[in-house]
Chain A
């Protein structure tokens, strides 16, 4: 089975530009999570969805960040305008409750560099 797919794997952009990160969860998983990882703050949950509906967005840093899940197989995380402090690795993960462990499976991540 295909795992979580993220694109792009690397993104380099200039301050002020719009950045869109994409994620395709594992088929059949109805929870989707967006994380950000930096050396300073570690792994932070930004937002998560259940059945395409945002459940907890308390980790979204500010209005510059937005996330959508238009259908069960696609989600986006958008940063507009981007700033150098947004440079990080952004992970998408998905899970399927009812399997007992409710384990989150991660995508390979998008390494974002904002110059």
Chain B
């Protein structure tokens, strides 16, 4: 069975510092994709970054990067130079990529990040 685990219900970080949000996953699919979304207090779900299981390099997108460790089945999100606007819930999600796979994303329960001034 596929599963996403986010073990940190809440995190605090000082403005301008880096923070790592943990995500571990379990899957039997040989090929899969990992996604991170941000949900600020306004409620919208915002796509941040994607990592494919066969990608040779860790994904980066501006201040967001993904620390992908396949052997450990972890896909941690790193936010560099935190800003007050980064305060939000962050969700990790996964989907198998084999042809014919269900398009359903498996979601973690999220991590609440608070950036302190």
Contact = CB atoms under 8 A, between A and B. Distances in A.
B102 A56 contact: yes
Contacts of B37: 106
Q: Tell me what chain A mostly uses at the interface: helix, strand, loop, or mixed.
A: strand
Contacts of B102: 55-56
Interface in B93-117: 95, 97, 102-105, 107, 109-110
Contacts, number: 50
Given A89-B43, A108-B43, A111-B43, A102 B107 contact: no
Interface string B50-69: 10100000000000000000
Contact of A48 (B45, B52, B103, B110): B103
A102 B103 contact: yes
Interface residues of B, number: 20
A42 interface: yes
Contact of A43 (B33, B52, B103, B107): B107
B47 interface: yes
Contact of B33 (A55, A89, A101, A107): A101
A105 interface: yes
A103 B47 contact: yes
A93 B109 CA distance: 18
A45 B47 CA distance: 17
Interface string B29-57: 00001010100000111110010100000
A5 B107 CA distance: 22
Interface string B73-104: 00000000000000000010001010000111
Interface of B: 33, 35, 37, 43-47, 50, 52, 91, 95, 97, 102-105, 107, 109-110
